Amino acid sequence: MEKIEFTVSMVRSRAWELTKKHGLIIAVVLFVVAMLTQTISMLGFPTQAYMSALTNGDAEAALALLEGLGTLTATSLLAWVINAVLTTGVLRCVILIAKGEMVNFELSGFKMPFTTYVYFILATILVGIIVGLGTCLCIIPGIFLGVRLILVCPHILEHPEDGLGGAFKHSWNATKGHFWSLFGLLLLYVLFCFLGLLCCCVGLYFAVAMGYFMLVVAYLILSNKPADVDTTLPITEQVATTENVD
């Protein structure tokens, strides 16, 4: 099979079209998730009393309040799990929208087997550990591993039956020969996030939504390996064309 045509402009173009239609609602959902999890994570710690103690120079009171860090750790862990579950559902909806299987963002996209959520969360943790270790050894290996494993999480949502090993193998194989294009997408995403921060942080969530669509479009193109990619066609039509060619 011929090498797949895959460029930054190709992915950006298709992702932008999807983001213009669905990015706002996804950005709002991501904002609500962030506020919810932030609130939950702080429930176990008396932030106001602690800041008041520091302001008044009451070191003993501040130290006494720090004893509540155990509870803070527990609530932070709960918040992280809730955030992981909700963002898993959001990414699944983005995949369905990009494939044309969902017209608009719907909570029905969150309906997945419990094991799929578990696999996704475990995959996120494993990728983070691997990339973190690579970064600690040297920044370049961390970047390389991060790019080569970028498709692990969306593949888990599409094919949970493959398990973690299958998802890692698929990402490694699918990204082979496309490192620089994918790295360019990451740089573009960082740029979008920076511009979003300049918009009083409100635009950050819209930039993250754009990042979701870029990831999913890249995943669908690389996973289905179309011989000819027409970015004016919906992803589902590109896949159908590919299947006919094969």
Q: What is the pLDDT of residue 72?
A: 55
Give dist(CA 42, CA 25) in Å, integer: 26
Closest CA to 35 of 90, 83, 3, 67: 83
Closest CA to 37 of 63, 4, 75: 75
Label residue 239 by pLDDT band (50, 70, 90): very low
> Are the beta carbons of 238 and 229 closer than 8 angstroms?
yes
Question: Is 67 a residue whose pLDDT tops 60?
Answer: no
Classify 201 as helix, strand or coil: coil
Q: What is the pLDDT of residue 61?
A: 59
Label residue 243 by pLDDT band (50, 70, 90): very low
Q: What is the pLDDT of residue 75?
A: 74
User: E strands, the chain, where?
Assistant: none
Question: Which tens digits make up the pLDDT trace of 142-198?
Answer: 999 999 999 999 999 999 999 999 999 999 999 998 999 999 999 999 999 888 888
Secondary structure (DSSP) of 31-92: HHHHHHHHHHHTTTS-HHHHHHHHHTT-HHHHHHHGGGHHHHHHHHHHHHHHHHHHHHHHHH
The mean predicted confidence, pLDDT, of the chain is 82
> Are the beta carbons of 12 and 214 closer than 8 angstroms?
yes
Question: Is 69 a residue whose pLDDT tops 60?
Answer: no
Q: What are phi and psi of 209, to 5 degrees?
A: -60, -40
pLDDT over 90, % of the chain: 55
Q: What is the mean pLDDT of residues 69-91?
A: 80
**pTM of the entire structure?**
0.80
Label residue 77 by pLDDT band (50, 70, 90): confident
Closest CA to 225 of 166, 176, 161: 176
